[in-house]
Amino acid sequence: MQWLRKIARGLAAPVLLLTVWQGVCAAGWVTPQALPSPYSVGCKWLEYLLPTQTYNPAAQSWWIWALSGELLQDAGGSLWRVVLGFLVGFVLALPLGLLMGANARLREFANPLIQVLRPIPPIAYIPLAILWFGLGNPPAVFLIALGAFFPVLMNTIAGVSQVDSIYLRAARNLGASHSRIFIKVILPAAMPFILSGVRIGIGTSFLVVIVAEMIAVNNGLGYRILEAREYFWTDKIIAGMFSIGLIGLAIDLGMDRLNKHLLRWHRGM
Amino acid sequence: MKAALEFQSIAQSFTTHNSNIQVLESVDLTIQEGEFVCLLGPSGCGKSTLLNAAAGFVTPTQGQVRFRDNLITGPSPERGMVFQEYALFPWMSVEDNVAFGLEARGESKDVIKPRVADLLAKLRLTEFATRWPRDLSGGMRQRVAIARVLALDPPCLLMDEPFGALDALTRRSLQDELLQLWSELGKTVLFVTHSIEEAILLADRIVVMTHRPGKIKKDCHVTLPRPRDPSDPAFNALKQEMGQLVMAEQHAFENAERLSFTAD
C-alpha cells in the first residue's frame, strides 16, 4: 500500500500538467501547430515508436522488425554516439586526472591551460569540428568526448588531491608500495568525486549529442526534432523531446544504481 | 635489557608563512624492548611529533631516531601505528582492512585467511568481519585498527592518543584489552596521551613533556603492581603528583595561546 501511495503522489504533477495542457488545446486557445494536444503527441509518439512496415517472417526476424521503428533507430543512433563519445572523453580524462591529482608539479604545469580551455562550451567547437572532421559521426563523437572530458578530469583531480593524508600514512605504515597505495587507497578514496564527474559528463554528453545531430548528422533524435520543425510537425518535435527525457531518466537511474553499488561503503549511501 | 627505540638529541621545527616554530628541543629518550612508555603532556608539547618521527612520517630537523640500532628513514610495519582517528579504509570490509598489510607483504591467501580470523577472534570482532567500518562504533573501529597493525606482528607499537575519542567506559575496556595483549605478546609500546589516569593505568614508565618547545620534564617509572586500581591511594598520590607537573605545562600552553591571540 505504501508504494502505491508513493507512485500516486509521484504521478500527481505529470497528470495535472497533462490535464491542463489537454484542456487548453481542447478549448482552442492555441493552434495545434504551436502546441498540439498531449493526446495527439502520444499518438504521434506511438507511430514514431512502432515499425512502419508490416511483419514479414520471410524477410527478417521478429526482433529486427520490432526494433525497426524510426524512434528506436534514432534513439539507438544517439545513444551509440553518446556512449562512444563519452568513453573517448572518459578514457582520456581519467588517467590524466589521476596523474594530475597525484603530482602537484604536473598540476601546476597543466592547470593554467586547462582553466582557459575548460569554460569554452563544447558547442563552440562545432565550426572547428566540422572543419577538422567533416560531417557525420566523427565531429559528433569529438564534441561529445570534449563535453565529457572536462567534468571527469576536474573531478578526478579534485578527488585524488583531496584524499585524506591519514589513509596514506596508514597504508605506508603497513608497508604498501606506491602502486598498491594508488590502486587500493587513492583510487577508491577518490571514487565519490570521480563518479560525480562521470554523472556530470554524461549529462553534458547528452546536451552535446542533440546539438551535434542538429548540425552535423542525418539521424538521431536531435536530427529528427529539427527535421520535424521543417515540416511543422510540432507533435513529432514534442514526441522527440519526450523521448530524450525518457532516455536521460533511464541513464540517470542506471548511474544511480552504479553509484550505490560502488559507494556502498560510503557514509551517505 | 636491550634498547628498542632511541631518540638521540631530537629537535624539530616547522616553518610557517612568517614564523619558525620550535616544536621539540634536545629530546633524548631510550625505550627498552618490551617496555610500555606513555608520553604525557598538554596539547602542542610535540608528543605527537615525537611519535611521528618514530613512525618515520617526519624526519627530525636535528638528531636521529633509531630502532634496534637502525636509523629510521621512513615508515615500516615493524613500528605499527595506531591513530586516534582509527584511519581504517572505509571502502574495505573489516577483514580486508586487517588483511591489508599482509597482502602488501605478498602473503598467500592460505596465510592471510587464518591469520585474519585469528586476530578478529582475539579482538572479539569475528561477527563483524564482513561489515563496513561505518557500521561500527568507535571502540570497535579502534579494535579493527589494532588488529590491522598486529597482523604484521610488529615488535613495536606506536599509539597516538588511540582512545582519546572514545567514551569513558569503552576507553576502560580497551585499556584493559591493550594491557592483556601487551602482556601476552610482549611488544614495545610508545603511547601518547594527555590523560594522567590513562598513563598511570598503562605505563611502566611515564615521560612528561614541557610546553613548546617540547623537552622532557620528568621521566619516571611506575612501580605500582598490576593490575592497577584507580581507587588505590598510591595510584591517587601518583596521579596528584603527575597532575601538578602536567598542569604547570598546561598553564604555560594557555598563556602562550592567549599571547599569540592578542599579538594577532
Write down all domains in chain A, each with its CATH number in brackets. 70-262 (1.10.3720.10)
Task: Identify the closest residue of chain A to B96 by CA–CA distance.
Answer: A184
Contact A175 B91 (CB under 8 A): no
Q: Is B104 on the interface with A (CB under 8 A)?
A: yes
* φ, ψ for residue B148, nearest 5 deg: -60, -40
Contact A173 B105 (CB under 8 A): no
Q: Is A264 on the interface with B (CB under 8 A)?
A: yes
Task: Identify the closest residue of chain A to B75 by CA–CA distance.
Answer: A173
CA separation for the pair A200, A259 (Å, rounded): 13
Q: Edge-to-edge, what's the strand order for the sheet holding B156-160?
A: B79-82, B156-160, B188-193, B36-40, B205-209, B216-221
A262 to chain B nearest CA, in Å?
9
**Helices assigned H by DSSP within B2-93:** 47-55
pLDDT reported for residue B263? 63
Kindly list the residues from chain B whose CB atom is less than 8 angstroms away from the CB atom of residue A267.
Answer: 90, 134
Contact B101 A170 (CB under 8 A): no
CA separation for the pair A197, A166 (Å, rounded): 24
Q: Is A185 on the interface with B (CB under 8 A)?
A: yes
Omega before residue B227 within 30° of 0, cis: yes
Q: A52: helix, coil or strand?
A: coil
Q: Edge-to-edge, what's the strand order for the sheet holding B20-32?
A: B20-32, B3-15, B62-67, B70-71
Tell me which of B51, B78, B89 to substitute to probe the interface with A (most A C-beta atoms closer than 10 Å). B89
CA separation for the pair B236, A174 (Å, rounded): 38
Q: Phi/psi class of residue B86: alpha, beta or left (left: φ > 0; alpha: ψ in -120 to 50)?
A: left
Q: Is B235 on the interface with A (CB under 8 A)?
A: no
A173 to chain B nearest CA, in Å?
5
Per-residue pLDDT tens over the stretch A108-156: 999 999 999 999 999 999 999 999 999 989 999 999 999 999 999 999 9
Contact B79 A180 (CB under 8 A): no
Burial of A263 (0-12, 13-18, 19+ CB in 10 A): middle
Q: A95: helix, coil or strand?
A: helix
Complex-level ipTM: 0.91
Q: Is A267 on the interface with B (CB under 8 A)?
A: yes
**Helices assigned H by DSSP within B91-232:** 94-104, 109-122, 138-150, 168-185, 196-202
Residues 46-65 on B with a CB inside 8 Å of A are 55, 57
Q: Is B73 on the interface with A (CB under 8 A)?
A: no
CA separation for the pair A47, A125 (Å, rounded): 35
Q: Is B79 on the interface with A (CB under 8 A)?
A: yes
Nearest to A265 among B81, B91, B149 (CB): B91
In chain B, how many H helices and how many E strands? 7, 10
B229 to chain A nearest CA, in Å?
34
Q: Is A111 on the interface with B (CB under 8 A)?
A: no
pLDDT reported for residue B218? 84
Q: Which residues of chain A have pLDDT under 70?
A: 268-269
CA separation for the pair B87, B102 (Å, rounded): 17
Q: Is B83 on the interface with A (CB under 8 A)?
A: yes
Nearest to B89 among A167, A169, A264 (CB): A167
- Cell 627498552 appears where? B32
CA separation for the pair B141, A166 (Å, rounded): 15
pLDDT reported for residue B41? 86
Helix (H) or strand (E) holding B191, with range, is: strand B188-193
Contacts for B238 with CB less than 8 Å, ≥ 6 apart: B200, B222, B224
CA separation for the pair B89, B87 (Å, rounded): 6
Kindly list the residues from chain B whose CB atom is less than 8 angstroms away from the CB atom of residue A173.
Answer: 55, 57, 75-77, 79-81, 149
Tens of each residue's pLDDT in chain B, 264 residues: 688 899 998 888 888 777 888 888 888 999 999 999 999 988 777 888 999 999 999 999 999 999 998 999 999 999 999 999 999 999 999 999 999 999 999 999 999 999 999 999 999 999 999 999 999 999 999 999 999 999 999 999 999 999 988 999 999 999 999 999 999 998 999 999 989 999 999 999 999 988 888 888 888 898 888 888 888 898 899 999 988 888 888 887 888 778 777 765
pTM for this one? Answer: 0.85
C-alpha B156: how far from chain center: 10
Residues 5-24 on B with a CB inside 8 Å of A are none
The structural domains of chain B, with segments of one domain joined by +, span: 3-78+154-263
pLDDT reported for residue A55? 80
Contact B149 A191 (CB under 8 A): no
CA separation for the pair B191, B198 (Å, rounded): 10
Show contacts of B134-137: CB within 8 Å, 24+ apart: B134/A265, B134/A266, B134/A267, B134/B90, B136/B94, B137/B170
Q: Is A182 on the interface with B (CB under 8 A)?
A: no
- Given this structure, which CATH class describes domain B3-78+154-263? alpha beta
Nearest to B80 among A173, A188, A191 (CB): A173
> Which of the 8 DSSP states describes residue B166?
S
Q: Would you state the cell numbers that stand for residue A123, as one nine-digit string?
A: 558547442
Contact A173 B77 (CB under 8 A): yes
Q: Is A173 on the interface with B (CB under 8 A)?
A: yes
pLDDT reported for residue A132? 95
